[in-house]
Chains A and B, each alone.
Chain A
Amino acid sequence: MIGRRWYTPWLFLLPSLVLLGVFYWWPVLNTGILSMTDAHTLRGGEFVGLENFRRMVDDAFFWNALENSLLFTVGVVPALVVLPLLLAVLVNTKLPGIAFFRTVFFSPVIASMVVVALIWSWMLRTDGLVNYVLQRLQIINEPLGWLSDPSLALISVIVVTVWKGLGYYMVIYLAGLQNIPDDLYEAASVDGAGPIRRFWTVTVPMMRPSMVLVGTLSAINAIKVFTEVFVLTGGGPFRSSETLVLYIYERGFEGLEMGYASAMSLSLFVLVLLFSLASQWITRRRAAL
């Protein structure tokens, strides 16, 4: 080729490499370094080796946060894999006016998480709308402390997160549904399958790649959850809904213990990495079948 130099491709890559380097790889590297120091925000740290990681093992609050994060993930992921699929199947029909419902279900996605969480935090107050409606319907007798009762706080956060995520994952599923050939459904009808049977023999197997994708994305998002919890409960009451990122935030920005926070961030990173590897493994095993 004419005038082609070895550095030409690198020139094209340069802008994004610089951005990635400054805002991603440098912080990542820095986190790694910080995690082995006792750095505070207001003073540099001394090298302490693996001391921060040892401290994590003994830190009951860390284990509490990790447990909450995992509970949150276990609560959110199955709901976000299944419910948006059902929703997508419902709005994928050719009924008149169905586009309206598609828009309605998608709208929470474009709303800001902070706004959504604020509105829900009002609705979930002891004297809020949710309690009012449930009492009216005589489902509950006494108002419940959705966000103030330690046994309910995490569940409430899970419900709000699922509600907010439905539309987003529904759209992913809708894209997948468009790719299922009609004649598979028709073949199943001719074979004598009713709507439910068709869902299980055509939709579910054909949507498996989308389901793995949604499972992975929602799991990664769940393990990293922050805004929802921060706005709704702040991690309370009594740390009953405090997740890992929230605890990292607390140590790093309130306790100013950057070294320790970095060490925990690193363990979170490993956790996320494990999730992605697991999902890749599942996908590959599927493909091999």
Chain B
Amino acid sequence: MANVVFDNVWKIYPDGTEAVKELDLEIEDGEFVILVGPSGCGKSTALRMVAGLEDISRGELRIGEKVVNDLTPKERDIAMVFQSYALYPHMSVRDNMGFALKLAKIDKDEINRRVEEAAEILDLTEFLDRKPKALSGGQRQRVAMGRAIVRNPQAFLMDEPLSNLDAKLRVQMRSEIAQLQQNLGVTTIYVTHDQVEAMTMGDRVAVLKKGVLQQAEAPQRLYDKPDNLFVAGFIGSPSMNLMEADLESNPGGNPILRVGEQTLEVPEEAMAEYPRVRDKVGGKVAAGIRPEHSFIPDASTPEGGTLRGDVRLVEALGSEVLVHVATQASPVVTEDMREAVDDEEAFARMEESGATGGMDMTFRFDPSFTPKVGDTLEVGVQRHRMHFFDLDDGQALR
């Protein structure tokens, strides 16, 4: 086992595509790091550079303090789980799992022992003599995992290993993989674009945008303290409500956000968290509210603490209800958001609603709350948990 260090690593494909740019990331020995980001941001490329399947254009990659830039995959001693599983179709499960060991000239009994042990862990014992074709998707996925764990390698690399499974199996495998990794303690890099996988599986999440690392932090911290607009918009599902708003001065108080006819006063806690907000008074900022940071206002809710709008859509999910409210706020339609939304159509709708004024915000409530479509709703905002970003460079106004 070993640490994996990206030291100013670049990947420039022969056609000039800069898939990964000056990546600096240290993955500690035994750590489970998730790489997330929109499609095409360079996650797979970064992973494949560790595996030795792509050349490194610039910079240095170290596994266990050893520079591996020029080593073949074989010499790097890493194991990889592919999205397609890439099982050898003509080999039995046993041979698939033992293949790497056989190539490493480990003796037969030892191979058998390790394969059977792994099969035991993964519940594959009864399938050891089957061909991959005769297995279900979930079983194939486990064989792919087994092929990696019998190796006892320096690191595991996994590229969207669960994306071909149905939702239920995905939930199950998610926790199994996380647990397995914890028990084995093998350094793991895991690529996904699934929000839940990113938030729940790893010790740390590294967010990439267009080949550039945005932030690498423990999941909860990433969620609570996004460094920039892109991370704020990308992490979380449903995503953070991000609006573009004028920041007005308020003699004798904290600045005030203008949202159409309504205002939101920036509370003291938020000012402490985002001190640079003060520099933006008189200009515009991007302000963010997570869907769950809302409440049903009552008599004690102060003026300047709510947003009003018509209910557009109510999604009752059983454990919670998501209410989409048409507010007078303007959406943030910068390049960061285009990337974070990662859906051209949805982004076009945002741009459109921005032009006509007004955006839909999503709020999360207890399922006992059941507003009707068309109702005018006053939503309380937990303003102390709001986020503020510079509209020009997207950075948090910390």
Contacts and interface: CB of A to CB of B under 8 A. Distances in A.
Give the interface SS of chain A, mostly helix, strand, loop or mixed: helix
A187 B51 CA distance: 10
A187 B80 contact: yes
B86 A201 contact: no
Nearest 9 A/B pairs, CB to CB: A187-B86, A191-B100, A205-B90, A183-B86, A192-B74, A192-B103, A189-B73, A190-B80, A190-B73
B73 A184 contact: no
Contacts, number: 59
Contact of B103 (A183, A186, A193, A205): A193
Contacts of A193: 74, 103
Interface in B78-103: 78-80, 82-84, 86-90, 99-100, 103
A194 B78 CA distance: 15
Contacts of A181: 84, 86
Interface of A: 181, 183-184, 186-194, 197, 201-202, 205-206, 208, 289
Contacts of A201: 88, 99
A289 B74 CA distance: 31
Contact of B86 (A186, A192, A194, A197): A186
A278 to B, nearest CB: 21
6 contacts: A183-B86, A186-B51, A186-B86, A187-B80, A191-B99, A205-B88
Interface in B107-147: 131, 147
Nearest to B95: A201
B192 to A, nearest CB: 17
Nearest to A185: B86
A183 B99 CA distance: 16
Give the interface SS of chain B, mostly helix, strand, loop or mixed: loop
A202 B84 contact: no
B103 A197 contact: yes
Contact of A191 (B84, B89, B103): B103
A206 B86 CA distance: 13
Contacts of A208: 90
B74 A187 contact: no
A197 to B, nearest CB: 7
Contacts of A194: 74
Contacts of B52: 189-190
A201 B103 CA distance: 11
B165 interface: no
Nearest to B131: A289
Contacts of B53: 186, 189-190
Given A191-B103, A193-B74, A183 B88 contact: no
A186 B52 CA distance: 9
Given A190-B78, A192-B74, A184 B100 contact: no
A158 B330 CA distance: 79
A190 B79 contact: yes
A152 B100 CA distance: 48
Contacts of A197: 103
B74 A189 contact: yes
A205 B89 contact: yes
B90 A183 contact: no
Interface in B30-83: 51-53, 72-74, 78-80, 82-83
A189 B73 CA distance: 6
A49 B87 CA distance: 59
Contacts of B104: 192
A191 B80 CA distance: 9
B89 A187 contact: no
A250 to B, nearest CB: 47
Contact of B51 (A184, A190, A192, A289): A190
A206 B87 CA distance: 12
Interface string B213-256: 00000000000000000000000000000000000000000000
A181 B85 CA distance: 11
Nearest to A202: B88
A187 B151 CA distance: 13
Among A186, A197, A202, chain B packs the most CB atoms within 10 A around the CB of: A186
A102 to B, nearest CB: 20
A191 to B, nearest CB: 4
A189 B79 CA distance: 10
A190 B80 CA distance: 7
A253 B140 CA distance: 62
A197 B53 CA distance: 17
Contacts of B79: 190
Contacts of B82: 183, 186-187
A93 B51 CA distance: 21
